[in-house]
Amino acid sequence: MSGLGKGITAASIGRILKNRGYAVTAVKIDPYLNIDAGTMNPGQHGEVFVLSDGGEVDLDLGNYERFLDIDLSSLHNITTGKIYRSVIEKERRGDYLGETVQIIPHITDEIKACIRAAACDGIPGEGPADICLVEVGGTVGDIESMPFLEAVRQMRGELPEEDTVLIHVTLIPEDSMGDLKTKPTQHSVKALRELGLYADIIVGRGQRPVGPGTKRKISAFCDLPQEGVISAATVPDIYQVPMEMEREGAADVLSEHLNLSPREADTRWYTLVEREYRGQVRVGIVSKYGVEDVYMSIKEALKHAGRASATEVKITWLDAEHYAEADLGTFDGILIPGGFGQRGTEGKINAIRYARTNRIPLLGLCLGFQLAVVEYARNVLGWKDATSAEMGEGRHVIAILPEQQGLSDLGGTMRLGNYPVTIENGTRAMRIYGKREIIERHRHRYEVNPVFIPDLEKAGLVFSGSWNNRMEICEVTDHPFFLATQFHPEFRSRPTRPSPPFLGFVEACSACRDGR
């Protein structure tokens, strides 16, 4: 069912295979009618993850990139909207030569073609993929998932048996007596079989591990070997899941089904995950959304930076509209994330002012960058009417640039995906990145208004990163750590390669804590 952990399971299986030297890529199938996740409410659906080519996708693709340490493209997110749009466009062009266009074979053929295209897309820096993970979102039995499951059934029949393995993730709940119940698994396996799909491996999700007795019961009722039942209990850190699945023997079962030669596992990932913390910092994130998954990549980027510096990062979520200013002084660092719309912006601006004047490390991201500029204009330059064009009337130190509008009466379009940034020498940004030219991912519409840049710089705000006339990084020199980025560095952070702004921020938080 939805939200059970299929994405983490798929990413963990990919990590297990990658640890054995296989090149692994991944595809996420979302059965909703939206073309992509870009217009979806993050409070309902979770974070909109941005790919290098600007694709706005489900947060599970962020997990794939982090676990597999690869970059994916828009090809790797398939939605019902994309499939139907493509088929209808082909029908309008006459590509079907007058055929009656139907779910089978036209929709299912399109789904299979999209899966194959993503599988053959290759991995940047590695070449072709050896294995492609395909996660089918939703729940078995949902009407919207049926064409995708039928396409999977067809592909299973078209490929050699040893070239596919079907993994079914099911819920194994616990009753009031503490017994694990297998009935939901039995029913979902039955529903899957009615669609012509037979699971090779069952991953049982629950709050505690599935014991041998429960595994025997599932094996007997679901017609698969006991070693094909993998326990996936909830763990404190998602990066521990591959290690737990290793202990369950997942690698051996996968190798047997896919006819892979035995290989020793590279254990560096597990060594990283098990690294002990030597310290702890408290970070307050000022957000207007009440759902933590809206900022999943930020949480993970802080975790990556914490592991690299052996520092546990404890996050407190502060409601941008209702937090108490006195609480800000209890944190070792303050983070202002991205977002859209006017609600909560004044609370974020006040938090930025507090961090700047009280010398608390601050990291601003996207909207956080824009509001840092607004705060500086208001409270250092004295422009009390300074604001963003997104927020309403006033002195627009943040605006839509004419070249972004195209035609001035049509409004701006989103700036999405990878763009270059040039960093100025002698700045904090240069110290944390260590190079002059970088690439980072973007998702925004508004920019710093060039008209006001000279006044802001004269007042002491340093724009340490830019691209053409677009300001990308700002910082305050006489401060322990005051840095904000127009881009989203969290999208490129990996457990093995933490984002430089996040690493610098966590290290500054540690120094702030030790200096108190």
Which amino acids are annotated catalytic? Answer: 366, 488, 490
Work out the angle between the directed axes of helices 108-119 and 146-158 (0-180°, nearest 10). Answer: 60
**How far is 331 from 361, CA to CA, in rounded Å?**
9
CB 12 within 8 Å of CB 241: yes
CB 363 within 8 Å of CB 484: yes
Burial 201-236 (b: 16+ CB within 10 A, else e): bbbbbbeebbeeebbebbbeebebeeebbbbbeeee
The CA-based dihedral angle spanning residues 90, 116, 64, 419, taken in that order and rounded to the nearest 10 degrees: -60
**How far is 415 from 437, CA to CA, in rounded Å?**
19
**Per DSSP, which regions of 66-110 are E strands?**
77-79
462: number of CA atoms within 13 Å, CB side?
A: 18
Burial 45-65 (b: 16+ CB within 10 A, else e): bbbbbbbbebbbbbbbbbbbb
CB 293 within 8 Å of CB 493: no
DSSP conformational letter for 174: B
412: number of CA atoms within 13 Å, CB side?
A: 16
What is the distance, to the nearest Å, from the Cα of residue 287 to the centroid of all Cα atoms in its chain? Answer: 17
Q: State the DSSP string of 270-285.
A: HHHHTPPPSEEEEEEE
